[in-house]
Amino acid sequence: MIHSRNRRLRVNESIRSLVRENILTTDDFVMPIFVMEGENQEEAIPSMPGIFRRSIDLTVKECKELFSLGVKSVNLYMKVSEHLKDNTGKEAWNKDGLMQQTIKAIKDAVPEMIVMPDVALDPYSIYGHDGIIENGKIVNDATNDALARMSVSHAEAGADIVAPSDMMDGRVLAIREALEESGFTDVGILSYSAKYASSFYGPFRSALDSAPKDNMEIPKDKKTYQMDFHNSREALNEVFKDIEEGADIIMIKPGLPYLDIVAKVREAIDLPIAVYNVSGEYAMVKAAAQNGWLDNDKTIIESLTCFKRAGADMIFTYFAKEAAMILNK
């Protein structure tokens, strides 16, 4: 005779919900947003159905709608005009730049929205790399100086948390010291601590035109600074260093193919963990759903819940708005 029957706790939805270990809510989401120059401008991103580049005025409108749905955090990326790009990234800390104007506009319109601008030089670089290039190499320390200036500029514009995604060594410490010296002691750092050199970023890079340029004199990819996808112990090394340097939140990117890294880091640290459900993951689900191969809504919720089950506290996802609508039903 069987005494222990696990199916007793699966009899109906009421029982299943009573013993459910992880609950997905709109509080878990951070919505990445692409911003472009102009007014009343909106451009669809073909490889990311339902995602757009928008001018500041329409971005503000979108943020108001997101907040009304319960999505309280946004992550900002700029589509930078070609004539503003160079090898120094100096447009990144222009106090009147597109990023700075966007931060101010969102905080003025939706003061309670948490604004997390991306801190990296690739959208501002003529080479499409996250760092300054000298003699054919991405140089680390000079890039850190630029990232620190960029972060202070974001804080001056009203950013709540800066999010360095570049993977330079020591940049968290450089940013933390710069913020402290400038009086921005309450501005947080969400560090992309374990960011892998991944094939899943393709749609994102096409959205911002931020892929490395085809130039024989520079690295053709980002493997000299982003992590090797074969490695997992290395992720813990990166995480511990960023915590020592003053990171407040740890990011793991990409997401679904790297749930083992999320779980490993969760076991090792107590700090909040963010995970990035990246553009390639989004595009795959959308393509399958459009072909009738997957149920769109169910797949979205299952995928996002998996991040929480693995140990993430927050999820950067292009599904944020759509998932909020599903959950709000």
Q: Give me the residue spans of the domains in the chain.
A: 28-328
Whether 109 contacts 102, CB under 8 Å: no
At residue 106, the pLDDT reads 98
Query: Smallest Cα–Cα separation from 105: which of 56, 171, 62?
Result: 56
Active site residues: 195, 253
Kindly report the average pLDDT of the chain as a whole number: 95
Q: What is the pLDDT of residue 206?
A: 73
112 labeled part of a ligand binding site? no
The reported pLDDT for the residue numbered 314 is 98
Burial class (CB in 10 A: 0-12, 13-18, 19+), 211: middle
How far is C-alpha 311 from the geometric centre of its chain's CA atoms? 17
* Contacts for 161 with CB less than 8 Å, ≥ 6 apart: 114, 115, 116, 187, 188, 189, 190, 248, 249
Predicted local confidence at residue 203, as pLDDT: 85
Instruction: Give the Cα separation of 272 and 190 in Å (integer).
Output: 9
Closest by alpha carbon to 257, among 190, 311, 208, 307?
307
pLDDT of 249 reads 98
What pLDDT is stored for residue 24 in this prediction? 97
pLDDT given for residue 219 in this prediction:
80
Just give the CATH number of 28-328. 3.20.20.70
Tens digit of pLDDT for each residue in 146-200? 999 999 999 999 999 999 999 999 999 999 999 999 999 999 999 999 999 999 9
Render pLDDT for 251-275 as a digit per residue (tens, 0 to 9). 999 999 999 999 999 999 999 999 9
The list of the chain residues with pLDDT below 70 reads 208-211, 213-216
Residue with tokens 């401008």: 41
